[in-house]
Amino acid sequence: MKMVNAFNMKRAAAGLRRINLDGLRWRVFDAKGQILGRLASQIATVVQGKDKPTYTPNRDDGDMCIVLNAKDVCVTGRKLTDKERTFKDQMAKDPTEVIRKAVLRMLPRNKLRDDRDRKLRIFPSSEHPFGDRPLEPYVMPPRSVREMRPRERRAMVRAQKAEQQQQNTDGTKKGKKREAPEESA
């Protein structure tokens, strides 16, 4: 893995010559703890240049996006284990590919797509060779977590109460037996 990372670093700094305009900003996304799809859609918006007032659909004017901590990206539900080609395997092979594919598939499929791909630099950890550029961190919009479904909530409440029980009681079995039927009712 260390060898692969070193190779990626060189490649990441290399392709910069092809990108013409350098009036672009360098936006830094921290993927730690972010949800994969939501992060990818924000990145796609920035890479297309859609948050600028000078957006032109036939020109590629997006900012350079650097994504850090790609291996800490999260996924909700049971997606980590339940997919056919598991997410876990892909993370083991090459954690940057997950985010790159997610963003690429969110970009419009036209002639500018490859150029936009070149503007995306993803790094699995926090180190990146672009330390000397003027970087701008990107603040994600606040995330609205949906309410837990009732069954999950009940299970969580039960688990919490079980933990509290174990902390409170000092080992009397009778006490536990009395408390348990009260809860389930």
Q: Catalog residues that contact other proteins under the rule CB under 8 A.
A: 50-57
Instruction: Please say which residue, 53 or 171, places its beta carbon nearer to other proteins.
Output: 53
**Closest distance between other proteins and the C-beta of residue 59, in Å?**
12
| Residues 122 and 100: beta-carbon distance below 8 Å | yes
Instruction: Please say which residue, 22 or 51, places its beta carbon nearer to other proteins.
Output: 51
**Closest distance between other proteins and the C-beta of residue 107, in Å?**
16
**Cα dist from 142 to 37, 38, 57, 136, 145, whole Å:** 15, 11, 28, 18, 9
Instruction: Please say which residue, 141 or 150, places its beta carbon nearer to other proteins.
Output: 141
Residue whose token pair is 């993803």: 122
**Closest distance between other proteins and the C-beta of residue 50, in Å?**
6
Instruction: Please say which residue, 52 or 113, places its beta carbon nearer to other proteins.
Output: 52
Q: Residue 73: what are its φ and ψ, rounded to 5°?
A: -75, 145
**Residue 26 identity (one-letter amino acid):** W
